[in-house]
């Protein structure tokens, strides 16, 4: 391959490289395909973008909440590795799941009204449940995250839902077991189970959440949480047969 006299020009990218070197048409096409592939990868997992999101969240969230989202980000990535899911999607969904958590309950309701987000009766009684919906809305509008799987995982990370996708399961479980969590009962059991059987981990999590809310006399039991428990209990019961 001959050296191009213009080699001193900027060769810092594929396009510059193509201009700096004499290459065959086949090689040129191959490099163009590689360049396109990197652009696609960048849309899925732009590490600079992740760093920028972390900077933003560090400013708007409390110190403990920011540490929590980092814990969920990396726990989600670990679970994705375990179950063969997209690590990049898991990281981004885990990082952004609480991006609206800094809002007060009144502000969450106002944002729902502003962005025409539907609100259930349970959410009206306990508006904190809305931070997932509002967070997903912020991700799409403010942060240009349009992946529907990521947005759905953010929406349902608090209540869960029946028949969750692998990404939804991962973020739901990671939110419960990340390293800073230390109050929930059976936490060590659930952490071990999370890397063995996600469905069983979800059954245990929803069972313990409902038991806690019932004991606490809370009026914030969302119907979707109960539906999630019922769905994963059926899977649990089937495994016992």
Q: What pLDDT, in 10s, does the model give residues 9-43?
A: 333 444 443 344 444 665 555 545 444 443 433 44
Give pTM, 2 decimals. 0.81
> What mean pLDDT value characterizes the chain?
86
The tens digit of pLDDT for each residue in 188-236 reads 999 999 999 999 999 999 999 999 988 877 666 789 999 999 999 999 9
Q: Is residue 34 domain-shared with residue 114, that is, in the same domain?
A: no
Residues 140 and 186 placed together within one structural domain of the fold: yes
- Residue 102 sits in the same domain as residue 216: yes
The pLDDT score that the predictor gives to residue 221 is 77
| Domain CATH code at residue 81 | 1.10.3210.10
Number of domains in the chain: 2
Indicate if 215 and 143 belong to the same structural domain: yes
Residues 124 and 143: their CA atoms lie apart, in Å, by 26
Q: Are residues 40 and 158 in the same domain?
A: no
Examine the domain organization and report whether 111 and 50 are in the same domain: yes
CB 46 within 8 A of CB 145: no
User: Distances from the Cα of 110 to the Cαs of 87, 115, 124, in angstroms?
Assistant: 34, 9, 11
Handedness of CA 211, 217, 222, 227 (dihedral sign): positive
User: If we measure between CA atoms, which residue out of 236, 60, 222 comes closest to residue 156?
Assistant: 222
- Domain residues for the domain of 166 are 46-240
């Amino acid at each position: 391959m001959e050296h191009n006299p213009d080699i001193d020009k900027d060769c810092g990218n594929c396009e510059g490289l193509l201009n700096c070197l004499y290459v065959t048409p086949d090689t040129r096409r191959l490099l163009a395909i590689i360049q396109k592939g990197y652009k696609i990868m960048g849309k899925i997992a732009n590490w600079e973008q992740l760093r920028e999101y972390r900077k933003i969240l560090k400013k708007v969230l409390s110190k403990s909440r920011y540490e929590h989202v980092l814990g969920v980000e990396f726990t989600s990535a670990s679970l994705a590795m375990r179950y063969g899911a997209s690590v990049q999607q898991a990281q981004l969904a885990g990082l952004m799941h609480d991006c609206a958590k800094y809002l007060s309950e009144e502000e969450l309701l106002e944002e729902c009204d502003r962005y025409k987000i539907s609100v259930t009766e349970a959410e009206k009684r306990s508006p904190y449940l809305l931070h997932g919906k509002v967070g997903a809305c912020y991700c799409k509008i403010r942060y240009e995250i349009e992946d529907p799987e990521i947005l759905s995982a953010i929406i349902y990370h608090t209540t869960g839902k029946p028949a969750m996708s692998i990404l939804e399961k991962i973020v739901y479980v990671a939110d419960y077991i990340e390293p800073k969590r230390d109050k929930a009962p059976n936490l060590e059991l659930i952490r071990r189970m999370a890397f063995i059987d996600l469905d069983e981990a979800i059954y245990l999590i929803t069972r313990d959440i409902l038991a806690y809310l019932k004991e606490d006399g809370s009026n914030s039991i969302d119907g979707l949480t109960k539906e999630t428990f019922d769905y994963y209990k059926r899977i649990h019961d089937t495994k016992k047969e």
